[in-house]
């Protein structure tokens, strides 16, 4: 048995080793931060004018309705004082426990000590009281423009979330217990994780959500069999290998968003939409977009359409020896597909037989949760960044989306990764989420100003290729799939855009869950259901109230609709059996380009 002296010696050696590691990590930390390129101030927070407007509105409220302001303050003081007295009374009884009321449920406070320990319970309860007071104070401001008030509420919530006691070592029981159990090793590992993330992202603070070493594109994700048969500066076109002897005559061309990589639709065999479509007897082509660098600064929607959409359609028609194709567009690629359909109508081109839209917005009149990011100061900051870099670096879009769900996508992972020293999970969806793409400067300005801010496509005034495009020009048979909890393309906004389209044959499907899980919802899982209603003349609320709920995936319903528009069966087409020979196996080369490497 080891003596106390031996144990003390071992502990001292471990402490000295950890201190040496900390000193080395500090040097690496400083070196990583020094590589960070400064971003425009507007992208890091709102302009001071917003706070000035809030102060003015609060002052007006005080002058015009002092009773309401005083009532809010008195309620806050009362709750705070009551909370303090209850804690004092419990301690005065000589009981080291929290008051009986454990407070509202919040995933951040799952550790039992938040409810049972008087110190942690007091901190938690006071934080929740403060947070509620801030929310109510903003909600009661009547003298602010609704958009400004929404922005103020958003940024106030970000500040509230940032100051949650779980985000600080001294007030996080999980992190403190882990540090004690590991004799401080968890804190050193956490610092190592922090430094590694900063080094990997050129000094930017981006929390790694998944264990990147667990995945390799083309090896254990994105493994559906196919070949790249065409490549230009904008995209690689993948033709997937058939799994049936016969296929429908009309091929399917799928355009994924270029904000992220296409393999969200082929993460693994069990949930691969790509594999499933091929297994239903379709010749499927998927575009894999380039991950642009600064040389793409002057690339706009024109190039995405001409060298992406139109070129892909031309190649597919040549390969399959058909005059028409069925097109699918996901998210921003669905928005752009609607622009393409308007353009083709102007040109009298009937190449697209039907169109399917996955979570695609065409009417941006309600900016929803993106309201804070679509005001002039933020838009000007985006343009300043683009003018400086030539592109919108992927981390800015990733950060923007993450802050819409900051507790789940920023603070929670940061606590586990940096404060507790845990390795991120080997989760393919989170790996994909972190594998973003840069956006060309000109394209994003067109999208931000013309579509998001000025809503020109819905207004019928969006100009491209010398044509004025309108959502009303979209007149091919179409199906649009939205999802119930989508925070990027809200279902009611998607629905409103579909209502504006000029098609005589159109269908709308509302899937359960969100922007990703609601789309990547294979029939084998029977996890999320969907809603159907043929009457698209109704308001969204009335449409949903009258919709029929169906269990399981919407994929079979869509395939039944697509089958009616896909022609007779013909012998299966194999990649390479056409003038377009294989350039390389799927998933291709463009998908492997990392945004962080482009931005060095």
Give the burial string for 311-337 (b: 16+ CB within 10 Å, else e): bbbebbbebbebebbbbbbbbbbbbbb
Nearest to 397 by CA among 373, 414, 377: 373
Rounded Cα–Cα distance for residues 587 and 13 (Å): 50
- If you compute the radius of gyration of the chain from its CA atoms, what whole number of angstroms results? 27
Residue 438 DSSP one-character state = -
- The DSSP line for 149-171 is HHHHHHHHHHHHHHT-GGGSGGG
Going 535 to 538 to 543 to 547, the CA torsion angle's sign is negative
Give the pair of three-digit tokens for residue 150: 């929404």
Rounded Cα–Cα distance for residues 502 and 474 (Å): 5
Q: Where are the extended beta strands (E) located within 442-587?
A: 462-464, 467-469, 478-483, 506-511, 530-532, 548-550, 569-571, 584-585
Chain-centroid distance of CA 568 in Å reads 39
End-to-end CA distance of the chain: 55
Cis, peptide link before residue 88, omega less than 30° from 0: no
Nearest to 155 by CA among 184, 177, 134, 126: 134
452 is catalytic: no
Q: Is 544 exposed, middle or buried (0-12, 13-18, 19+ CB in 10 A)?
A: middle
Find the catalytic residue in 320, 331, 452, 584: 331
Rounded Cα–Cα distance for residues 301 and 443 (Å): 5
438 Cβ contact list (under 8 Å, min separation 6): 291, 292, 293, 296, 391, 392, 393, 394, 595, 598, 599
Q: 577 in helix, strand or coil?
A: coil
450 Cβ contact list (under 8 Å, min separation 6): 456, 457, 462
Going 334 to 278 to 566 to 554, the CA torsion angle's sign is negative
Rounded Cα–Cα distance for residues 145 and 143 (Å): 7
Which residue numbers are catalytic? 331
């Amino acid at each position: 048995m080891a003596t106390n002296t031996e144990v003390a010696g071992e502990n001292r050696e471990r402490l000295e080793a950890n201190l040496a590691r900390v000193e080395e990590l500090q040097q690496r930390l400083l070196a990583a931060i020094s590589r960070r390129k400064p971003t425009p101030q507007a992208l890091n927070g709102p302009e001071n004018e917003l706070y000035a407007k809030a102060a003015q509105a609060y002052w007006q409220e005080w002058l015009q309705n002092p009773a309401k302001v005083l009532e809010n303050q008195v309620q806050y003081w009362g709750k705070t004082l009551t909370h303090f007295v209850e804690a004092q009374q419990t301690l005065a009884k000589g009981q080291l426990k929290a008051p009986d009321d454990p407070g509202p449920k919040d995933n951040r406070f799952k550790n039992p000590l938040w409810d049972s320990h008087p110190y942690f319970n007091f901190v938690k309860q006071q934080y929740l009281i403060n947070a509620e007071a801030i929310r109510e104070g903003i909600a009661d401001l009547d003298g602010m423009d609704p958009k400004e008030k929404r922005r103020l509420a958003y940024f106030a919530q970000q500040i509230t979330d940032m100051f949650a006691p779980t985000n600080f070592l001294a007030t996080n029981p999980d992190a403190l217990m882990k540090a004690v159990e590991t004799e401080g090793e968890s804190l050193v590992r956490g610092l190592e994780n922090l430094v590694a993330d900063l080094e990997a992202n050129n000094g930017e603070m981006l929390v790694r959500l998944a264990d990147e070493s667990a995945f390799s594109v083309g090896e254990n994700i994105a493994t559906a069999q196919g070949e790249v048969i065409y490549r230009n500066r904008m995209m690689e076109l993948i033709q997937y290998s058939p799994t049936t002897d016969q296929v429908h005559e009309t091929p399917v061309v799928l355009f994924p968003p270029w904000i992220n990589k296409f393999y969200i639709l082929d993460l693994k065999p069990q949930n691969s939409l790509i594999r499933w479509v091929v297994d239903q007897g379709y010749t499927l082509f998927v575009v894999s977009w380039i991950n642009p660098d600064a040389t793409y600064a002057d690339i706009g929607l024109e190039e995405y359409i001409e060298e992406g959409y139109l070129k892909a359609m031309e190649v597919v028609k040549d390969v399959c020896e058909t005059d028409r194709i069925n097109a699918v567009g996901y998210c921003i690629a669905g928005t752009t597909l609607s622009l393409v359909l308007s353009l083709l109508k102007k040109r009298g081109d009937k190449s697209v037989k039907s169109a399917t839209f996955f979570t695609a917005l065409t009417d941006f009149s309600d900016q929803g949760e993106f309201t804070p990011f679509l005001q002039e100061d933020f838009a000007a900051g985006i343009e300043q960044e683009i003018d400086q870099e030539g592109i919108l670096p992927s981390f800015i879009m990733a950060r923007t989306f993450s802050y819409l769900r900051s507790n789940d996508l920023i603070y929670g992972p940061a606590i586990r990764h940096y404060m507790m020293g845990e390795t991120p999970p080997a989760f393919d969806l989170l790996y994909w989420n972190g594998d973003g793409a840069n956006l060309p400067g000109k394209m994003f300005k067109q999208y931000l100003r013309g579509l998001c801010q000025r809503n020109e496509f819905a207004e019928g005034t969006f100009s491209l290729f010398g044509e004025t495009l309108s959502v009303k020009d979209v007149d091919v048979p179409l199906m649009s799939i939205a999802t119930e909890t989508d925070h990027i393309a809200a279902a009611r906004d998607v629905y409103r855009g579909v209502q504006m389209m000029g098609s005589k044959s159109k269908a709308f499907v509302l899937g359960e869950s969100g922007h990703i899980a609601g789309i990547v919802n294979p029939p084998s899982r029977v996890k999320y259901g969907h809603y159907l209603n043929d009457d698209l003349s109704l308001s969204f609320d009335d449409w949903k109230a009258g919709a029929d709920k169906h269990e399981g995936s919407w994929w079979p319903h869509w395939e039944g609709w697509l089958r009616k528009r896909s022609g007779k069966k013909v012998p299966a087409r194999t990649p390479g059996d056409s003038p377009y020979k294989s350039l390389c196996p799927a998933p291709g080369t463009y998908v492997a380009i990392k945004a962080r490497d482009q931005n060095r």
